[in-house]
Amino acid sequence: MAQVKTYVRPMQGWWRKNPFFVRYMIREGSSVFLAIYALILLVGLLRLSQGEAAWNGWLAALTHPVSILFHWLALLTVGYHAYTWWMVAPKTAPNIRFAGREIPEMLITGGGMLATLGASVVVYVIVRWM
């Protein structure tokens, strides 16, 4: 290409210009809540290793309204993250063939979502009643 004067458009605010990109940013952003939630759990493990008083202190901190608000927010965003995770799973899944055919995308997405829901119910039942 010969030397010509061209105009390069700025990228500023790119993700606000298309709903597809807004959903992508929420998907990526929701992982921050997941990371914070995992850190809180790890702190709990650390406090457990430090004895009963430390553990009870951690439990008490969880009942603080800020903590409860965060956990509701985390539940919502992680739920959305799980949904988007399975929506893109057909793109990342290895090329598995079953009886000579490729597994349909719907089966990977739907199966994954059902498995997530099933596992969540099982964990809830164990934590709540067992």
Partner 1 sequence: MTDTRTIEIEVLRYNPEKDGEPHFQSFEVPFTHDTSVLQGLQYIKDHLDGSLTFRWSCRMAICGSCGKMVNGKPELSCHTFLRDYYPGKVRIEPLNHFPVIRDLVIDQSDFFEKKLPSIKPYVVPKEEKPLSAGTYLQSPEQFHKYYQYSQCINCLLCYAACPQYGLKPDFTGPAALALMHRYNADSRDKGWDVRSEVLNAEEGVWGCTLVGYCSEVCPKHVDPARAINQNKVNSTMDYFGVLKFIMPKGGG
Shortest Å, Cβ 119 to partner 1: 23
Per CB under 8 A, does 3 bind partner 1? no
Pair of tokens at residue 82: 């799980």
Nearer Cβ to partner 1 (27/71): 27
Per CB under 8 A, does 37 bind partner 1? no
Nearer Cβ to partner 1 (6/49): 6
Per CB under 8 A, does 106 bind partner 1? no
Phi-psi region of 13 (alpha: psi -120 to 50; beta: other; left: phi over 0): left
* Contacting range for partner 1; rule: CB under 8 A; set: 21-29, 48-56, 69-77, 108-116: 21-29
What are the DSSP calls for 49-114, one per residue?
HT-HHHHHHHHHHHTSHHHHHHHHHHHHHHHHHHHHHHHHHHHHS---EETTEEPPHHHHHHHHHH
Per CB under 8 A, does 48 bind partner 1? no
Number of residues lying near partner 1 (CB under 8 A): 23
Question: Inter-axis angle of helices 105-129 and 65-92, to 10 degrees?
Answer: 150
Nearer Cβ to partner 1 (51/100): 100
At residue 91, φ and ψ (nearest 5 deg) are -80, -30
Per CB under 8 A, does 24 bind partner 1? yes
